[in-house]
């Protein structure tokens, strides 16, 4: 049986790509398998755990709930955009400093959720941080240190005023 395929164009972490995808292909599979960006994790594949979170045109999106064809023409930012030249991004540093991770499986989603939050609200309260990360499930750290990490990142970024990614 002949399979229908569409060619989509999207910009991921500043690089333009054209990818042939089937209509049912998920954005997360396109990122991981077609573009080799495996920093975005797949957990539940049902929009529950949040580990697949990326930014699409600046908005946080669960990439297991979005079809790749829906990202045609979009700008996508994944966790790979954070570190540069081997140096951790302040958000990543924050999670290390505040011990906001253990196994790290949820961390890509937590980082991108934090990126979206701080882009919109550079000085969130603990309640706002908890609300923002409430769509992400962490099975090992507990949320106290993740909240502390987001606060650390907010304080660091407001001190340096650098929110480039």
How many residues make contact with ligand FES (CB under 6 A)? 23
Q: Indicate which single residue of 8, 30, 35, 50 sits in contact with ligand FES (rule: CB under 6 A).
A: 50
Q: 3-state SS of 53-78? A: EEEECCEEEECCCCEHHHHCCCEEEC
What's the rounded Cα separation, in Å, for the pair 16 and 70? 16
Paired tokens of 129: 């941080």
C-beta of residue 119 within 8 angstroms of C-beta of residue 57: no
Is 144 one of the binding residues for ligand FES (CB under 6 A)? no
The answer to whether 96 contacts ligand FES (rule: CB under 6 A) is no
Q: Does 140 bind ligand FES (CB under 6 A)?
A: yes
Q: Is residue 58 within the footprint of ligand FES (CB under 6 A)?
A: no
Residue among 132, 138, 148, 153 that touches ligand FES (CB under 6 A):
138
Nearer to ligand FES, 42 or 56 (CB): 42
Chosen residue from 29, 30, 32, 43 binding ligand FES by CB under 6 A: 43
Distance CA 83, CA 101 (A): 17
Partners of 59 in the β-ladder: 56
Query: Cα(109)–Cα(138) distance, rounded to whole angstroms?
Result: 10
Q: For ligand FES, which is the closer residue by CB, 3 or 37?
A: 37
Q: Which is nearer to ligand FES, 5 or 140 (CB)?
A: 140
* Parallel/antiparallel/unpaired status of strands 6-12 and 75-77: parallel
Residues that bind ligand FES (CB under 6 A): 42-45, 47-52, 62, 64, 101-107, 138-141
């Amino acid at each position: 049986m002949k399979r229908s395929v569409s060619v989509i164009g999207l910009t991921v972490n500043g690089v333009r790509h054209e990818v042939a995808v089937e209509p049912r292909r998920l954005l997360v599979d396109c990122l991981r398998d077609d573009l080799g960006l495996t920093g975005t994790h797949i957990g539940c594949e049902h929009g529950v755990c949040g580990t697949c979170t990326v930014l699409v045109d600046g908005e946080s999106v669960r990439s297991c709930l979005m079809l790749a064809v829906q990202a045609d023409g979009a700008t996508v930012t994944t966790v790979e955009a954070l570190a540069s030249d081997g140096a951790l991004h302040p958000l990543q540093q924050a999670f290390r400093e505040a011990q906001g991770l253990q196994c790290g499986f949820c961390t890509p989603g937590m980082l991108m959720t934090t990126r979206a939050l701080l882009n919109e609200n550079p000085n969130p309260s603990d309640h706002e941080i908890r609300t923002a990360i409430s769509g992400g499930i962490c099975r090992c750290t507990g949320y106290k240190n993740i909240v502390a990490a987001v606060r650390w990142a907010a304080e660091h970024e407001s001190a340096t005023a650098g929110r480039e990614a």
